[in-house]
């Protein structure tokens, strides 16, 4: 594969994101939202955890935005594998549970977003876990720097609740 340093240089400081959800419509909605942001690059879409692991091997994103409940391999199991193989890849789990930590396997995740999150929460989570500065600072927001969910949902890309 490509060394992570070369991948990051090619991205010119943009946060490279892999979208993972078993509903293609959810991936497409998130991709449409993120494509409006010049500081974010969507590297691909996967529809289960197994596909996500394969795409990470090839594309080495900075952040994986991953649903928890999926067929073949769920997001918790995929997160555990991702963090073991590529500890520098950050994982944001999308969940219906407010704390995100009902399952001990969720501890491998870097952050959590509640389904039904807004554009601001999504952006804050991606930049918060990536450690990259954003030209559009959202300091003081409900998820500033933590990727923890806030309550100001602006766009529903949750698919199923």
Q: pTM of the prediction?
A: 0.74
Return the pLDDT at 160: 43
C-alpha to C-alpha distances, 15 to 67, 92, 105, 126, 157, nearest whole angstrom = 19, 13, 25, 7, 20
Over the stretch 6-42, which tens digit does the pLDDT of each residue have?
A: 444 444 588 999 999 999 988 998 899 898 889 999 9
The band of 119, judged by pLDDT with boundaries at 50, 70 and 90, is confident
């Amino acid at each position: 594969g490509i060394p992570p340093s070369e991948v990051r240089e090619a991205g010119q400081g943009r946060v490279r994101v892999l979208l993972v959800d078993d509903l293609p419509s959810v991936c497409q909605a998130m991709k449409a939202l993120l494509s409006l942001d010049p500081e974010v690059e969507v590297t691909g879409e996967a529809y289960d955890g197994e596909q996500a692991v394969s795409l990470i091997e090839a594309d080495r994103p900075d952040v994986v935005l991953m649903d928890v409940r999926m067929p073949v391999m769920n997001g918790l199991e995929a997160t555990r594998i991702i963090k073991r193989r590529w500890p520098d890849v950050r994982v944001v789990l999308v969940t219906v549970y407010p704390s995100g930590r009902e399952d001990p396997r969720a501890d491998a995740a870097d952050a959590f977003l509640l389904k039904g999150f807004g554009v601001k929460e999504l952006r804050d989570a991606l930049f918060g876990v990536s450690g990259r500065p954003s030209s559009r600072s959202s300091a003081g927001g409900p998820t500033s720097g933590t990727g923890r969910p806030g309550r100001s949902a602006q766009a529903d890309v949750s698919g199923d609740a």
